[in-house]
Structure 1
Amino acid sequence: MAHAVTEGDKGYIQEISGANLLPFVYLGAKHMMTGYDHILFLFGVIFFLYRIKHIGIYVSLFALGHSTTMILGVYFNVGINSYLIDAIIGLSVVYKALDNIGAFQRWLGFQPNTKIATLVFGLFHGFGLSTKILEYEISPDGLVPNLLAFNVGVEIGQLLALAVILIGMSYWRRTPSFARNAYTANVAMMSAGFILVGMQLTGYFVS
């Protein structure tokens, strides 16, 4: 459901051919804004980032990762089972929540490189996008410009989602409840990630 392709969108894409930039920009933005697993991961990534410079670095790494695998995955018709790739995306949410509460330092004695992790999980998120784009059964006529337009839409959607998250976080951080509830919020995010993993693996085995 996190990457659901509506029947109306799918039917529209199947009917058109050639370069249709604006529709694909719209679809990309819609896909990111309604992809709650992407949004959860972004929420975790910026949870303890206060400086715009640092936020820009991590969001850029994530964008680089998912843009690369999304475009290459569709162009070379690399399809991955949507249940499995979405389960991995759910695990990325779990990972980020554990990272935020310092679990890896306590368990492993060191801190994994958060920038590399963000880039790697971005690659998996991109395969989640490409897998769903392949379901659109896009015409090869105008494929490259349409893919680029979809990616532009994804980035627009990501920026819009990020703006909403940052506005909410900026107000929350000013209150005493942030320090009290930051740990709980990340545990809740981790639980949501495990639920996503369970849902996707159940779908995989049932289907």
Structure 2
Amino acid sequence: MLPSLLDGSRRAPAAPRASRLFWIFLTLGLLGLSTDVLAHAVAQGDKGYIQEISGVNLIAFIYLGAKHMVTGYDHLLFLLGVIFFLYRMQHIAIYVSLFALGHSTTMLLGVYFNVGINSYIIDAIIGLSVVYKALDNLGAYQRWFGFQPNTKAATLVFGFFHGFGLSTKIIEYDISPDGLIPNLLAFNVGVEIGQLIALAMILIVMSFWRKTDGFFRHAYTANVAMMSAGFLLIGYQLTGYFFA
């Protein structure tokens, strides 16, 4: 985390025009992402498949879990925010494990006990998690309120909400009770596999980016773009809640 990112007087000189344009297009791209992609939506084809099958289908549910994580941009944005300023693998492992623990717990228990939350509300909270982490990376809480929230606890708590987001969708699709527990466990394994794949890709990109002279200069813009995407998701979901 870099509290000085909010201090314009300490920021590095302006980036070249090409770099500024790159970050402008990145922000517009994040804002233009389909809200169905940013939310915990399950593809229509996958929805039909889940509704039709019964019995134990481990491989299929592992695939569906991995696909959900790799294509779930709300997950990926939050993970990007979590590891943005983490350099040591043991620190990354701790935070990612906390997120996985929270996500897995509420996803499994939510489906098993049929505990659903209004999908608009839960997805708005997931958007809030992206905003929270972007502000945390910008050092906003220390600057505005004079204290730093417990980042590990926040990662675990928001992991719970991310898991509820998925369990709510699965409940809506009336998954067969025949083979429910093995299939849910397989789905969760797939989610963790997908998370590792996504994390590996993010870390590869971040490792190259951090070696450039422009990393700290562009970190402010990157986190503002993440925060904007989070606000977009919040606004869309709350609009759906009040007007759908």
TM-score by shorter chain over 0.5: yes
Task: Please state which band the TM-score falls in when normalised by the shorter chain.
Answer: over 0.9
Q: Which residue in 2 is equivalent to 1:115?
A: 152
Cα deviation for residue 203 of structure 1 reads: 1.3
Q: Read off the aligned partner of 2:227 and give its amino acid letter.
A: M
Of all paired residues, the percent bearing the same amino acid is 82
Looking at structure 1, the residues matched to 142 and 83 of structure 2 have their Cα atoms a distance apart, in angstroms, of 19
For the pair 1:182 / 2:211, whether they are aligned, the reply is no
1:154 matched to which residue of 2?
Answer: 191
- Structure 2 Cα separation of the partners of residues 105 and 91 of structure 1: 18
Give the CA deviation at 1:98. 0.5
Greater Cα offset, 44-53 or 194-203: 194-203
Instruction: Answer yes or no: is 1:105 the counterpart of 2:142.
Output: yes
Q: How does 1:72-91 map to 2 (within 5 A)?
A: 72-91=109-128
2:201 to 164, 170, 191: 164
Partner of 1:51: 88
Match of 2:56, SS state, is: coil
- Which runs of no fewer than 5 residues in structure 1 stay unpaired? none
Alignment match of 1:33 (pick from 63, 70, 83): 70
Distance in 2 (alpha carbons) for counterparts of 1:198 and 1:67: 26
Structure 1 residue 135, shift from structure 2 partner: 2.3
Task: Name which of 126, 145, 153 aligns with 2:182.
Answer: 145
Q: Which amino acid aligns with 1:52?
A: M
Compute the displacement of 1:7 (Å): 2.2
Q: Deviation of residue 10 (structure 1)? A: 1.5
Q: Which residue of 1 aligns with 2:60?
A: 23
- Alignment of 1:6 onto 2:43: yes
Shift of 1:141: 0.8
Q: RMSD across aligned C-alpha pairs, in angstroms?
A: 0.8
- Count of residues paired in the alignment: 207
SS at match of 2:114: coil
Q: Rg larger in 1 or in 2?
A: 2
Tell me by how many angstroms 1:3 deviates. Answer: 1.9
Aligned equivalents of 2:83, 2:128: Cα separation in 1: 17
Report how far residue 38 of structure 1 moved.
0.6
Aligned to 1:124: 161
TM-score scaled to structure 1, two decimals?
0.98
